[in-house]
Amino acid sequence: MNLPPVVQHESELIQNAKLRSRLRTALVRWFAEHARDLPWRRDPTPYKVWVSEIMCQQTQIANVIPYFERFIKRYPDEASLAASDEDELMRLWEGLGYYRRARSLRTAAQKIVELHDARFPLTYDDVIALPGIGRYTAGAILSISQNQALPILEGNTIRVFSRWIAMQTPVDEKTSQNQLWQFSQSLLPTGKSALACRDRGPAAVNQAAMELGALICTPREPKCLVCPVAKFCDANTMGLQSIIPGKVTKTQYEARNEFAAVVRGPNGRLLVRQIPAGARFAGMWDFPKAGPPEAENAAQFTQWLEHQLGGTIELGAVVQTIKHAVTKYRITLHAHVAAWTRDATDLPDNYQFVTAAQLTKLPMSTTGRKLLDRL
DNA sequence: AATGCGGGGAC
DNA sequence: GTCCCAGCATT
């Protein structure tokens, strides 16, 4: 097979600081004009920027906004977050996904109260030591809130920077990542005046690079014709913007059938349980639910349920079929009504009969909430 | 280096 | 359906 030779392009942007300076000027000028009005940009305190950054991880900005508003209203500062009730916190996070983020946020707030007098720390080493905060998030918080000259690298900037320098190697490789981090650092201004000015310092440069990725330098069909820095972009010059960055390993999706039971108790209460620590959806409340390998079909689910609860289960009609995508899984959830004949008075561990009204205050898995809402 | 973690929006 | 999103922690 004949493949074109891979030629590592030497980007002038990497060599030439003056060129980067001109790019930066055009970039922040564009940002001043086109930045979206996001709630955490109005008063970018370290605390608010922190919360927004955690919420934004692997999540589209538009989905974050209402969550952010509610969160800040309920937990306006580090101390109130540290003292938060876990169920209430998870209820506020419900639907946003990656629930470990919320727990880490709370744990970190408690550390901040203990170690930093309830004020968000302002050095990189202190910040990255907090749970849930890695290199990107630490740099983002301190650059955006404090205008510190710390680099960032995430979904948007990986794409933007790799296009600017026409990176030919796969962006997920270690050497590529190192080069992109280095480029990100080299893009930041070092002059005293810029570091004293949010509008053209690291706060603006980092946010502008991400904003460009979100609004102009998009994954598919980047809007190069209206890009404010197109003339600095090697991929654009070379006509490579549609193939850089190359695609990463593609996801293998897996179809999966799961089963849930709606069991009614006294006064129409519903049988639910809080999922134990360590499992997926830990801490969230849900109807009795199982899938492979415990339950491949309705009969096995019935057996599993009898084993869980004791007594006998009579599985009835399907009340809902819910399609749900979770990471690589494509789940079809078959929700049945079920009659439970108990042989003991005690409910098994974690299980409880609760009213629908109580469930509105408890955190549930998304499928659990959907099922409840349509009962 | 690879994998798990949730969900939703764009196309 | 497929891709991707202001990543991190764990193995």
pLDDT along chain A (375 residues), means of 10: 48 96 98 96 97 96 95 97 96 95 97 97 97 97 98 96 94 92 97 95 98 96 96 95 82 89 95 87 92 91 94 95 88 95 83 95 94 91
- The whole-number Å distance from A144's CA to B3's C1' is 31
Q: A369: which nucleotide lies closest, measuring CA to C1'?
A: B7
What whole-number distance in Å separates Cα of residue A14 and Cα of residue A19? 9
Work out if A328's Cβ lies within 7 angstroms of strand B. yes
pLDDT (0 to 100) of residue A280:
80
What whole-number distance in Å separates Cα of residue A13 and Cα of residue A114? 44
Q: A246: which nucleotide lies closest, measuring CA to C1'?
A: C3
Tokens of A343: 């042989």
Work out if A178's Cβ lies within 7 angstroms of strand B. no
R_g of chain A computed on alpha carbons = 25
Q: A284: which nucleotide lies closest, measuring CA to C1'?
A: B6
Residue nearest to nucleotide B7 (CA to C1'): A97
What whole-number distance in Å separates Cα of residue A141 and Cα of residue A56? 12
For chain A, strand residue ranges (E) read: 254-263, 270-274, 285-286, 289-290, 312-326, 329-341, 351-354
- Which architecture, in CATH terms, is A12-238? Orthogonal Bundle (1.10)
pLDDT (0 to 100) of residue A5:
38
Q: What are the start and end residues of each CATH 3.90.79.10 domain in chain A?
A: 254-373
Residue nearest to nucleotide C7 (CA to C1'): A57
- The whole-number Å distance from A159's CA to B10's C1' is 18
Which nucleotides in chain C have some atom under 7 angstroms from a protein Cβ?
1-9
- The whole-number Å distance from A117's CA to B5's C1' is 32
Residue nearest to nucleotide B2 (CA to C1'): A249
- The whole-number Å distance from A247's CA to C3's C1' is 10
- The whole-number Å distance from A241's CA to C3's C1' is 17
Work out if A281's Cβ lies within 7 angstroms of strand B. yes
pLDDT (0 to 100) of residue A54:
97
- The whole-number Å distance from A327's CA to C5's C1' is 13
- The whole-number Å distance from A224's CA to C7's C1' is 27
Q: What are the start and end residues of each CATH 1.10.340.30 domain in chain A?
A: 12-238
Q: Is A154 annotated as catalytic?
A: no
Tokens of A89: 């916190």
Q: Determine the residue type at A235.
A: A
pLDDT (0 to 100) of residue A2:
32
Work out if A277's Cβ lies within 7 angstroms of strand B. no
Tally of CB atoms within 10 A around A345: 5
Work out if A361's Cβ lies within 7 angstroms of strand B. no
What whole-number distance in Å separates Cα of residue A52 and Cα of residue A66? 11
Beta bridge partners of A285: A274, A364
Which nucleotides in chain B have some atom under 7 angstroms from a protein Cβ?
1-11
pLDDT (0 to 100) of residue A293:
86
Sign of the C-alpha dihedral, residues A103, A104, A107, A110? negative
Q: Tell me which of A10, A12, A33, A53 is the catalytic residue.
A: A53
* A254-373 belongs to CATH 3.40.50.300: no
